[in-house]
Amino acid sequence: MKKKGQKGGTRKSGRKSGDGRTRAGGSNLSDKDKMLGEAVLVVFLVLLALIPYFQTLDFGFVNYDDPLHVSKQPGVLEGITSGSVGWAAEATPANLWHPLTWISYMAEVQWFGGGADAPGVHHGGNLFLYAITILFFYLLVRKLGVPMLWSSIAVLFFALHPLHSEPVAWISARKDLLSGVFVLGCILSYVLSIKALGKSSLIWKVVSLLAFAAALLSKPSAVVLPALLILLDWFPLRRAGFEDTESGAPSWRAIFVRQLRSKGIYFAMALAAALVAISVQGEGTHQDFASESSLISRLIDAPGHLAFYFQRFVWPSGLIFEYSRPGGMGATFYVIAGTILALGLTWLAWRNRQRFPEIMLAWLWILICLSPVLGLFYIGSSYTADRYFYLALAGPALALAFFLERETRWRNAAIPASLLVLLALGLLNFRQIKVWRDDFSLFHHAVTVDPGHLTALGNLGSYYRVQKDDVQALKYYEAALAINPNDHIVHYNVGHLRNNQGDRVGSIAAFRACLEGYPNYERGHHFLGIMLAEPSHQETYEPEKALFHLKRACEIDPSEPRFALNYIYHLYRQGFREEAKIATAEALKTLPKEATSVTGRLKKWLETPVPGKRQIPTGN
């Protein structure tokens, strides 16, 4: 590691002789050979790190957000057009805003033949992005002054850890990969701007800001990046006011002024992205579910999340696609363990901040990266997820590089011990990646690890329903409902299954149970309305309630063409012509422009005479 005051760049060991030639040991040819050798090493490292991940090229889509992001997303399947790019800038399906991630999927469809029938193309895109991430991380560690050997070990630790199997093997985790590329690119450019002089320094600073903007457009959780830059200023860069920490007398005022001056634009960009993300997260279903948990309760749970992440970081076994909240006293145990862990690591890091600053670097890096998902904001129903630790893993890996560089009595054992750890991580990673092969592998593995996993049980039921094995499907659906009788998604799927079996009464009962679990589920209202609106089944025919539910579906999601079409159709069918005209006019204002077939039918209906006129029902 470079000492304080030492400038970046390659140091030459030779000097020029009187005749202008370079002496042995300092030739330009030698420098070129070193650069070529390191380039070969980097290529080898990247290929070695990707070995466990190459198997994903034969994987398919999984029914866990992949239809939303790629396989059934019209905006993505259209490829890159002016309309689709405009859609990406505003799209917020599932309360997510990541325009650059949408465009990356579109680019694969447009240029490489990706789409609903080509999951391998999108898996290949993930591999490419991960290769760039590994490259950027290696360059960052080297630019921070760590020799090649220890840099290589740290990079492989980062790349082979099983916690990275989910972000790389899951197509829908593209936002984590893409944002990670730009975050590391931003940090690398920032370090290069410090080490460069004159115009080069300014150019690298601009590149750093552009990379940060791209990271925010890929996933807004990149807002933590300015704090990571401040952490690196403390160690290992020792700059911007932190130079005095070695003497034990830091000038906190000077630190604040210098950091504000150098990071002000980063914080402004982060604030803008955070406001957009908070606004998007506070809409739709997230708003409904977030109201079920208070900020205080989520913050009390935060130490438990930390303990959960730390357990899987140290012992990466039994990994699944998302984790249920521990039952019984489990959650309390994790909160207590997490509190002890947080206090203990904070004390250890502070006590050794001068002697072993690597501890503080790793600990604060983890806390900074995990801060958006520790309870301050509602991010979903899962307890934790491996993908949230994606960039957090870079901190311990970077700290490992600095620690291995130290001259200690354990130095001779560092290489063989590191190789054994890396081999174990690589084998665990290779096995964990197989879990993401298809729906059955993913959800069956989760149920094996956690027999009470609601999402996995429900998705296994859906898997068997697609396979037309209704018996197995009901088995898993009923197992899920035995754990949570209010799971609206499972009730909704059971409703479809009962309907396919010809059990109309059972189907309607399931849809009603769905709405009891979540009254604002638009698809539940829509399908229940269709079921109740069929006059050929007199035993279940309830026309007024049918119109109520069809109208409610339109109110919740006025942009869905099917909802508007069915509501207005049944208004006409029941003779509510004036109300149908009003609903048609409203629908034509709110439906997306691409829904031309629906809007065309609606315009024709305006001119179709329907006998009779009745009063529209207003209640359920």
Q: What is the pLDDT of residues 63-119, one digit of tens each?
A: 999 999 999 999 999 999 998 999 999 888 878 899 999 999 999 999 999 999 999
3 state DSSP class of 72: coil
Residues 2-56 have pLDDT tens digits of: 443 344 333 333 333 333 333 334 445 577 888 888 999 999 999 999 999 999 9
- Give the number of other Cβ atoms within 10 Å of residue 195's Cβ: 16
Print burial letters for 405-437: b (CB count within 10 Å at least 16), e (below 16). Answer: beeeeeeeebeeebeeebeebbebbbebbebbb
The single-letter DSSP state of residue 282 is T
- Global pTM value: 0.87
- Positions of E strands within 172-249: none
Q: Quick one: how many helices (H) and strands (E) in the chain?
A: 28, 0
The C-alpha atoms of residue 409 and residue 377 are separated, in whole angstroms, by 45
Distance CA 317, CA 431 (A): 10
Cis peptide before 236 (omega within 30 of 0): yes
The first and second tokens of residue 355, run together, are 């002697």
Q: How far, in Å, CA of 337 to CA of 334, rounded?
A: 5
Q: What is the pLDDT at residue 32?
A: 82
Distance CA 477, CA 494 (A): 7
Q: Quote the CATH superfamily of domain 439-605.
A: Tetratricopeptide repeat domain (1.25.40.10)
Confidence at residue 378, expressed as pLDDT on a 0 to 100 scale: 63
* Paired strand residues for 16: 22
Give the H or E element holding residue 103: helix 99-112
pLDDT at site 595: 62
**Distance separating alpha carbons of residues 147 and 404, to the nearest angstrom:** 10
Question: Can you say whether residue 284 is alpha, beta or left, with left for phi > 0 and alpha for psi between -120 and 50 degrees?
Answer: left
In 3-state terms, what secondary structure has residue 22? strand
Residues pairing with 384 in the sheet: 323
Element (H, E) at 212: helix 198-218
What tokens does 55 get? 């198997």
pLDDT on residue 291: 56
Domain limits, CATH 1.25.40.10, in the chain: 439-605
Supply the pLDDT for residue 463: 95
For tokens 């109208």, the residue is 551
User: What DSSP designation does 292 have?
Assistant: T
**Upstream peptide bond of 67 is cis (omega within 30 degrees of 0):** no
CB of 488 closer than 8 Å to CB of 524? yes
Rounded Cα distance between 79 and 107, Å, is: 6
Task: Mark the ranges of the chain whose per-residue pLDDT is less than 70.
Answer: 1-29, 244-250, 282-294, 376-381, 593-620
Question: Residue by residue, what is the 3-state secondary structure of 309-375?
Answer: HHHHHHCCCCCCCCECCCCCCHHHHHHHHHHHHHHHHHHHHHHCCCCCHHHHHHHHHHHHHHHHHCC
Indicate the Cα dihedral angle 489, 492, 498, 500, nearest 10°. -100
Q: What is the signed CA dihedral for 550, 552, 556, 560, rounded to 10 degrees?
A: 10
- Where is 387: in which H helix or E strand? none
